[in-house]
Amino acid sequence: MDILSMNITELEQLMKDIGQPTYRAVQIFEWLHQRFPAAADGVFSFNEMNNLPKNLRNELTSRCYITPANIVERLTAKDGTIKSLIRLGEVHIETVLMEYAHGRSICISTQAGCRMGCIFCATGQSGLIRNLTASEMCQQVYLAGGVRNIVLMGCGEPLDNFDATIRFVELITHPKGVGIGQRHITLSTCGLVPKMRELASRRLQINLAVSLHGTDDATRQALMPIARRYSIKELMAACREYTEITHRRITFEYALTSGVNDSPAQARALAALLKGMLCHVNLIPVNPVEGQSLSPTKRREAMAFAEILQKAGIPATVRRTIGAEVNAACGQLRAKKGV
């Protein structure tokens, strides 16, 4: 079993099974999540856990493991954004580390590949290879070091790997570990309606970002295959339910694509769609992706789109593009070496 994915209750049961006192569970958890070593070859050794007796370390070595993780390549953009290609066992994923005045933020992956197939996203072109474990998500954070904010917006759809994603949130926010606050975590989804409702029922205090990208079903379906399964009406009902249950604001991600979804009429339609909602709109001029000919909305038109929303009482901002020259901007991750 991958011990880094285990919570304290499970570790206590493990200690009982091998005849160790249960207080060892907290010692193991604290050591793993507060002092996790970034080994050069990505291979973890239980012998390094010097807060445990040798017989317990030997027992853990025979029963448990941690999936090897190591950084294969790092690319740094002129703006300081760092994209890392990480090998996790037999697969590769990417993370993006961003420096802000309020601290370091990391965009991590929840799957190797993705099966959602959004046409503006490079990750989806490879399809889904496999889900990541909570341990593998934690390691992405720990390899970066000194992270204050986490965005689950890298390779993969977090809600398509629901249980592991929820376990990751449990582990990364635990006060016996690194203790990152739930409000410093943002989960981005393309709109898996049943899983959004399940997430709402957990009443977490994380931030939810929903990829909208269109104000009608036809436009959204042209960009996102998931829209053929769940209509905008169904999606918005789930969003309203989420805010009612959690009292948390939703951020709607909207990739502005020239001639597709960026007209003033569509801005007014978006304002009408979101009227009365506890929300914010994040406008993102679509980033270039190999194999697609989508063009980003020009800055002037993007600002005009935002102004229409703002005048209608919908908070909106135009996201600045960072990391694009190393393919680290929104939608550009694909876990491919040298790009």
281/251 Cα distance (integer angstroms): 6
Catalytic residues: 94, 330
Task: Write out the two tokens for 205.
Answer: 């205090």
H helices, E strands: number in the chain: 10, 12
CB 249 within 8 Å of CB 286: no
> Which residues contact residue 152 at a Cβ distance below 8 angstroms, ignoring those fewer than 6 apart?
107, 108, 110, 137, 158, 165, 185, 186, 187, 188
82/156 Cα distance (integer angstroms): 19
CB 67 within 8 Å of CB 136: yes
145: how many CB neighbours lie within 10 A of its CB?
Answer: 11
What Cα–Cα distance (Å) separates residue 183 from each residue in 145, 204, 306?
19, 9, 25
91: how many CB neighbours lie within 10 A of its CB?
Answer: 18
Asked whether the CA dihedral 211, 217, 223, 227 is positive or negative, the reply is positive
Provide the 8-state DSSP code for 231. Answer: -
255/287 Cα distance (integer angstroms): 8
